[in-house]
Amino acid sequence: MQNYIVYLIGFMGCGKTTVGKKLAASLKWKFIDLDKKIEEKTGLTVGELFATRGEEYFREIEATTLRELTFDSNCVVAVGGGTPCFKENIDFMLSNGYTIYLKLTPAQLASRLKDSADKRPLIQNTQGKELLDFIETKLAERSKWYEKSHLIADGFDINIPLINRQIQF
């Protein structure tokens, strides 16, 4: 029997983990957070990996961990904001599961991220207009990968029952 996988993608702060847990619970599926799997595998936090090994090393571990995930049941997987944009990860996810992009505007993302910037390696010590400018620039770069998703959902006004009905395998 085939196990189904839903990958949640989108910019940091869009709610992938929160929505992922709710979606998995509503479907009675397992939930996996890719960043947590990377931390378990390496013994380091994502922030520590960025600080000590750099982004390129992190992206290698991220791609390997994504491909090594094993599923003994149907599963919802929340991936990092940059995951789809490196190492052909978006193509891997598109061919091995169903991808949902949780889309928010730069202003919505900045509002969500302003209080957690110190915990996120790419926006550490970034505030106000500088944070908004960073989000606008990064989101413009990443949108071409995000928008390849099977489904694009409004990440601000998320409707779990609607997403359940829209998932197609």
The pLDDT of residue 152 = 96
The pLDDT of residue 168 = 80
Which helix (DSSP H) or strand (DSSP E) does residue 153 occupy? strand 151-154
The pLDDT of residue 116 = 78
The pLDDT of residue 122 = 76
In a structure prediction context, what are the per-residue pLDDT tens digits for the chain, which is 169 residues long? 678 999 999 999 999 999 999 999 999 999 999 999 999 999 999 989 998 999 999 999 999 999 999 888 999 999 999 999 999 999 999 999 999 999 999 999 999 998 776 777 778 778 888 999 999 999 999 999 999 999 999 999 899 998 988 888 7
Domains with residue ranges and CATH for the chain? 5-164 (3.40.50.300)
The pLDDT of residue 12 = 94
d(CA 36, CA 40) in angstroms, rounded, equals 6
Q: Tokens for 11, please give them.
A: 């910019």
Establish how many alpha carbons lie within 13 A of residue 6's alpha carbon, considering only the half-sphere containing its beta carbon: 29
Which helix (DSSP H) or strand (DSSP E) does residue 161 occupy? helix 160-166
The pLDDT of residue 128 = 84
User: Burial level of 70, CB count in 10 A (0-12/13-18/19+)?
Assistant: exposed
Q: Which of 82, 47, 88, 53 is nearest to 67 (CA)?
A: 88
For the beta sheet containing 75-78, the strands, ordered from the edge strand earlier in sequence to the opposite edge, are: 30-33, 75-78, 5-9, 98-103, 151-154
The pLDDT of residue 65 = 98
